[in-house]
Structure 1
């Protein structure tokens, strides 16, 4: 199960985003990959240590609306391999 997080502030580095998400996800974080950090199109995919879809949904709901550097994050859960194409900007 993966969680996609977007609306990441341009002021945040890849390391900032990864550290924030790893802290927020705790033991559920298997890996965090950040794309296009420092741009208006920045987003992250967090791979979770969970196979049940509802866990991803609950985690996404908890992340959705959290503030990162004063900006409200948006998040949604997606099954493995079901992430949107990273070359297309996700509208917020």
Structure 2
């Protein structure tokens, strides 16, 4: 499961961003990739270590209230991984 985090402050280094999300996500952090560091388009892709449905949405809601270097984060979760079909009702 993946999350995309937007609004990463330009002033943060890649290590700052990684350390922040490792601390915030704990054992859920499987992989953290940071793009466009030092630019207004800086963002991160967070891979979560969970197979439980909808964990990404819950984590996204929790991270949405967090601030990195004083800047409010914008977080979105993909509704389903590309390989996973939506659950049937």
**Are 1:66 and 2:75 matched, yes or no?**
no
Distance in 2 of aligned mates of 1:11 and 1:41:
12
Distance in 1 of aligned mates of 2:82 and 2:32:
15
Structure 1 residues 46-77: Cα deviation after superposition (integer angstroms, max 9, x where no partner): 10011223110000000013111010001011
Unmatched runs of 5 consecutive residues or more in structure 1: 83-92
**Are 1:80 and 2:81 matched, yes or no?**
yes
Change beyond 3 A, Cα 1:40–1:60: same
Partner residue in 2 for 1:85: none
Look at both structures and tell me which one has the larger radius of gyration over its CA atoms: 2
Superposition TM-score, scaled by structure 2 size = 0.86
Partner residue in 2 for 1:19: 19
Partner residue in 2 for 1:41: 41
Partner residue in 2 for 1:2: 2
Partner residue in 2 for 1:31: 31
Residue 39 of structure 1 deviates from its aligned partner by: 0.6
Q: How many residues align?
A: 82
State the 4+ residue runs in structure 1 displaced beyond 2 angstroms.
79-82
Unmatched runs of 5 consecutive residues or more in structure 2: 84-89
Partner residue in 2 for 1:50: 50
